[in-house]
Structure 1
Amino acid sequence: MPHSTQSASTFFSVACYFEAALTLAAIALGWLVDIDPFDKLAWDERALLHGLLLTLPLLLLFFALQEAPPRALRRIKALLLETLGPRLYRHHWTDLMILATIAGFSEEVLFRGTLQPWLENSLGMTAGLWLSNAAFALAHAVTPLYALLALLMGLYLGISLDYGGERNLLTPIVIHGFYDFIAFLVILRNYRNSL
């Protein structure tokens, strides 16, 4: 049974505020470790285009995994449907776009704008990439398999930071936000179909 409009609205507000607070966490961490989280964020049409194009392989994988038979994948799909479906059920697609945009921006500013460069400066490029994305995976550890998938996606996002030869945080922000938006739409559609 769908949650009440009030609890869905509360979840949406809390999710937006929580995700936005990650930007503040990135700024605070950046201040502590002397990293400007926005240093490599620049509006660039090529970075935007790269972000949109680099989202396509992730979306193809996402849709393929929707149909995959392994039990662990079905468990993740059911978990997302049970937890997010009722909470997103009454929201318009524009609300989902807002949440996806905030999540994509804030998580990328924290993990790829602050944590990855700090660890790269401290431990080297490879260790920085892996450790920052291990933290990203832990932050998404709903199940062990989901954490592994988040690690792989994080590595992809971390590598996309330098796609095109010039570091630009806009590329992973676009990938993350666009991916989340499509995933939210699919979860919402599946939930509505299940009612």
Structure 2
Amino acid sequence: MPHSTQLAANFFRVACYFEAALTLVALALGWLVDIDPFANLVLDEQALLHGLLLTLPLLMLFFAMQEIPLQALEKIRTLLLETLGPRLYRNHWTDLLILAAIAGFSEEVLFRGTLQPWMENTLGMTAGLWISNAVFALVHAVTPLYALLAMLMGLYLGISLDYGGERNLLTPIVIHGFYDFIAFLVILRNYRNSL
């Protein structure tokens, strides 16, 4: 198997396992702090639709940031292209969909299903939202600007948890997964164009 094909296959497998393991972390943390990570996960058509619609503003910002000639944004684009491009290069779009779905599900179960409710119960709604998403930003801190953008996206996802008046974890799961899928496709396209 050629090196780039092996790299892509290994990355896909390891990334899926890593992201899926976050669900186990959410379950363990939930057990420790007496929070059911799935308590607010309801399979509901309205929450699914809300998730798809609420992804659109994020995608518009994402595509706008692809065009803004700001050095800090260029650094992020280059970093993503150089780190993810070769690893996604040999994957089919269905692989990217699977990875995005696992990441959206697992990260949201951990951050919005476990950490945010725990922080809200302990510190109040506002502080819980901010602190849980500060942690979300820290684990995504590949550059200072990327951490800030992750914090803002995390706040958006945290607020979307209650969109429509009923708390439903499905909404941020759909937003996160759909956003990641489109971002993966764009990174893959940009990498292929750079070859």
User: TM-score interval w.r.t. the shorter chain?
Assistant: over 0.9
List runs of 5+ in structure 2 lacking aligned partners: none
AA partner of residue 138 (structure 1): L
Q: 1:10: Cα distance to partner? A: 0.6
In angstroms, what is the RMSD of aligned CA positions?
A: 0.8
Q: 1:15: Cα distance to partner? A: 0.3
Query: Does 2:95 correspond to 1:95?
Result: yes
CA–CA separation in structure 2 for the residues paired with 1:93 and 1:153: 24
Question: Counterpart of 2:70?
Answer: 70
CA–CA separation in structure 2 for the residues paired with 1:123 and 1:3: 49
CA deviation digits over 1:49-82, x for unaligned, max 9?
0000000000000000000011000000000000
Q: 1:3: Cα distance to partner? A: 5.2
* TM-score, structure 2 normalization: 0.98
Question: Counterpart of 2:176?
Answer: 176
Aligned length: 194
CA–CA separation in structure 1 for the residues paired with 2:12 and 2:92: 11
Q: 1:174: Cα distance to partner? A: 0.1
| Residues 3 and 87 in structure 1, CA contact (< 8 A), matched pair in contact too | no
CA–CA separation in structure 2 for the residues paired with 1:112 and 1:126: 14
Which segment is superposed worse, 109-118 or 3-12?
3-12
Query: Does 2:43 correspond to 1:36?
Result: no
Instruction: Name the SS of the counterpart of 1:4 in structure 2.
Output: helix
CA–CA separation in structure 2 for the residues paired with 1:127 and 1:95: 37
CA–CA separation in structure 1 for the residues paired with 2:148 and 2:50: 25
AA partner of residue 51 (structure 2): G
Q: Which runs of 4+ in 1 moved over 6 A?
A: none
AA partner of residue 191 (structure 1): Y
CA–CA separation in structure 2 for the residues paired with 1:86 and 1:156: 30
Query: Does 2:189 correspond to 1:189?
Result: yes
CA–CA separation in structure 1 for the residues paired with 2:135 and 2:19: 16
Q: 1:4: Cα distance to partner? A: 1.8
Shift in alpha-carbon separation, 1:68–1:3, aligned structure 2, 3 A: farther
| Residues 3 and 86 in structure 1, CA contact (< 8 A), matched pair in contact too | no
CA–CA separation in structure 2 for the residues paired with 1:23 and 1:137: 18
Instruction: Name the SS of the counterpart of 1:110 in structure 2.
Output: helix
CA–CA separation in structure 2 for the residues paired with 1:3 and 1:184: 21
Q: 1:7: Cα distance to partner? A: 1.6
CA deviation digits over 1:60-108, x for unaligned, max 9?
0000000001100000000000000000000000000000000000000
Instruction: Name the SS of the counterpart of 1:164 in structure 2.
Output: coil
Question: Counterpart of 2:80?
Answer: 80
Question: Counterpart of 1:147?
Answer: 147
